[in-house]
């Protein structure tokens, strides 16, 4: 497997679960770091039992469409894998290069996609995309809309809907006792960027009766503007800016808040592709509120509260309901964890992924 996402320690639990499956011998190639508009994420080595996590150089780090792995051909010649899992989007150069190297060596390969908006790309991206569609033996889509996009663009092969990562329910677990006795505490985790709608959350919180606090985990290009907005709304003293946190600190964050909000908004170029923080919080029995952007309603289902994106009044009403009703918070927390245990654990994601591998092998026999 080639995956820059697997630099995150909590995500590596899926790799351990993959390696536990019968007849699976797993090597994961990952870069030493990845940069994006939220900053730089360094490789964490957390769950590394049962498989080899091998660091390989990354060219054009931070360039989503143009990055690639310059040593991949040598790695494949050394490893001689039976299958190559390319954990990248089909319109990226990394995927196109990796797919070509797999084709030359007659290695069955698949790619992963989150892309849930039917965007038409100019050359060379559309050429890379078409090449990958022709040669992929299978595709894993992270959400339901991504399947429709694949079909609309002409991919006719097998596809499975499996989130990229699940949740370790032992790591992301409910608190041992009552939550801290303090003002009603709302949490957000993710990028401080326009598409995530943190401004909507600040405006909704400003309409709540005191006492309350908002704890924000993350970084991004909008942080300065969001700090100014909080001050303009008169709530700057109620907002805690916690910055980025290592993945293994996140369970404590979720256990310490009373509700998590994900107010993502759809743009012409993006809509919420999954909302991983939702399932992490749900696993900790923290009630969640999400907008109706993209995949969020499918993730939450009836285990949380959903509001129309950009609707400040609706979000404020949901927050107020949770603020005033401890029984509702407990019930939604219980439902959330049960939904994760039923559908979103790392072990379940790993088993489904290995099922795809077996389908690929059966198809070439």
Burial (CB < 10 A; 0-12, 13-18, 19+), residue 73, is middle
The whole-number pLDDT of residue 177 equals 81
Same domain, 29 and 134: yes
> Which structural domain range is residue 208 located in?
184-343
Question: Which residues make Cβ contacts (< 8 Å) with residue 150, sequence separation at least 6?
Answer: 113, 133, 139, 141, 159
Residues 78 and 47 in one domain: yes
pLDDT at position 37 is 72
Counting the structural domains of the chain, the total is 2
pLDDT digits (tens, 9 = 90+) for 237-246: 999 999 999 8
Residue with tokens 């808040």: 257
pLDDT reported for residue 10: 87
In terms of domains, do 154 and 238 share one?
Answer: no
User: How much is the pLDDT for 179?
Assistant: 73
pTM over 0.85: yes
Residues 294, 349 within the same domain: no
- In the chain, which residues have pLDDT < 50? none
Distances (CA, A) of 165 to 40, 246, 275, 363: 20, 17, 11, 25
In a domain, 208, yes or no: yes
CATH code of the domain covering residue 251 = 3.40.50.2000
Do 94 and 138 lie in one domain? The reply is yes
Residue 63: inside a domain? yes
In this structure, are 98 and 38 located in the same domain? yes
pLDDT given at position 365: 64
Find out whether 187 and 217 touch, Cβ atoms under 8 Å.
yes
Backbone CA torsion sign across 337, 342, 344, 347: positive
Residue-wise pLDDT tens digits, 223-274 = 999 999 999 999 999 999 999 998 889 999 999 999 999 999 999 989 999 9
Q: Are residues 325 and 350 in the same domain?
A: no
In a domain, 109, yes or no: yes
- b/e 320-341 (16+ beta carbons within 10 angstroms → b): bbbbeeeeebeebbebbbebbe
- 216 with 259, same domain: the answer is yes
pLDDT at position 362, please? 86
Q: Are residues 88 and 225 in the same domain?
A: no
Q: Are residues 9 and 132 in the same domain?
A: yes
Task: Please check whether residue 178 lies inside any domain of the structure.
Answer: no
Same-domain pairing of 37 and 160: yes
- Say yes or no: 279 and 309 in one domain: yes
Q: Tell me what pLDDT residue 242 has.
A: 97
């Amino acid at each position: 497997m080639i995956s820059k996402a697997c630099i995150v320690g909590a995500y590596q639990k899926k790799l351990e679960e993959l390696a536990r499956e019968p007849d699976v011998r797993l090597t994961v190639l990952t870069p030493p770091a990845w940069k994006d508009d939220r900053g730089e994420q360094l490789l964490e080595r957390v769950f590394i039992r049962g498989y080899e996590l091998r660091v390989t150089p990354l060219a054009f780090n931070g360039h989503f469409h143009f990055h690639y792995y310059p040593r991949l051909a040598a790695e494949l010649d050394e490893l001689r894998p039976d299958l190559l899992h390319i954990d990248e989007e089909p319109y990226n150069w990394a995927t196109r290069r990796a797919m070509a190297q797999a084709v030359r060596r007659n290695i069955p390969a698949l790619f992963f996609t989150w892309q849930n908006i039917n965007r038409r790309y100019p050359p060379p991206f559309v050429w890379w995309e078409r090449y990958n569609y022709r040669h992929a033996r299978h595709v894993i889509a992270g959400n339901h809309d991504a399947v429709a996009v694949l079909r609309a663009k002409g991919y006719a092969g097998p596809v499975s809907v499996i989130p990229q990562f699940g949740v370790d329910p032992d790591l992301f677990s409910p608190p041992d006792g009552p939550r801290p006795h303090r003002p009603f505490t709302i949490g957000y985790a993710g990028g401080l960027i326009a598409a995530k709608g943190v401004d909507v959350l600040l405006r909704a919180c400003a309409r709540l009766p005191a006492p309350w606090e908002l704890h924000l985990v993350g970084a991004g290009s909008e942080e300065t503007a969001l700090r100014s907005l909080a001050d303009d709304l008169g709530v700057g003293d109620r907002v805690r800016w916690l910055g980025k946190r290592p993945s293994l600190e996140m369970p404590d964050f979720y256990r310490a808040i009373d509700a998590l909000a994900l107010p993502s908004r759809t743009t012409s170029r993006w809509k919420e592709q999954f909302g991983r923080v939702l399932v992490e919080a749900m696993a900790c029995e923290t009630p969640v509120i999400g907008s109706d952007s993209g995949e969020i309603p499918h993730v939450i289902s009836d285990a949380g509260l959903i509001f129309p994106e950009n609707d400040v009044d609706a979000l404020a009403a949901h927050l107020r309901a949770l603020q005033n009703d401890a029984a509702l918070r407990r019930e939604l927390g219980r439902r959330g964890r049960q939904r994760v245990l039923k559908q979103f654990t790392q072990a379940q994601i790993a088993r489904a992924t290995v099922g795809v591998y077996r389908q690929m092998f059966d198809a070439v026999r």
